Chain A
Amino acid sequence: MISASTLIIATVVLGAGTFAFRFAGPVLRARVELSPRVEKLMAVAAVTLLAALVGTAALLDGHEFVGFARPAGVAVGGVLAWRKAPFVLVVLAAAATAACLRLLGVP
């Protein structure tokens, strides 16, 4: 097993690196005035990232297809959100769909 000091150093390095990633945008943005077009570009980039996270998290577990229960749950949530259902209903329906499908033996 890895020693405690190694684990602490690894955790601190991961934390510091992650903080640097998070801090870069706020600090650099404060130094330059961004045009509305660049502002829009930043927002589009963030939405694109989030959408890609949704796609990969819904369909994949690591490098492989995750099975049908999870994407089915996300799809039910997506349709409800698209139909302007309340957020709470969207989230609970997504979880319930996946959970019920698994109870029925769907992977």
Chain B
Amino acid sequence: MMNLLKKIIYILTVCFLVSCNSNTSIQEYFVNAKDNDKLIGLDIDPGMFVSLKEGASQESVDVLASIGKVNIVAYRLTETDSISKAKVDFYTTERLKIKEVIKNNDLESLFKFNSKEKSVSLLYKESGSELIDEVIVFAYDDTMGFVLVRVTGDNIDPAKIIKVMNSKEFDVSEGKIKDLIKKVM
């Protein structure tokens, strides 16, 4: 009996290790990026900027609640006039790393633009019929740097977002957004 239990634990551990090593999830990438001083990291709760007006419909409340968090990781190449080789090297490896992470995460591609030095990809994860759980935007420019944006949520309905945006039942605090941009730049 003990032996069997040991075996099961052993197998489970191996499975766990294998599954951990095979791919870095996007979540893991963002967690690791936080510890990297070279990268700009930003976590935003949409509720910080958007507030519903009094008497807003339940639909608006639900839509805002369906959008969870926005995580951003960015790297800037143009801080000084000359871009050092070390910076370019870091940019190149990190960019490839992100590309690999995105590729291994079973995301559905929506839009892709590629050219010699610029690229924009838009991907998402569907939670059911045309509802969204995750949106990923990854853009880079060999002269400027890169930015990776991840929006996570719970059954985000694009049709409802449009409806709520048109309903004007919310306020956007521009001041807070400006403060945030200043902090990052």
Chains A and B come from one and the same complex: no
Residues of chain A at the chain B interface (Cβ within 8 Å): none
Residues of chain B at the chain A interface (Cβ within 8 Å): none
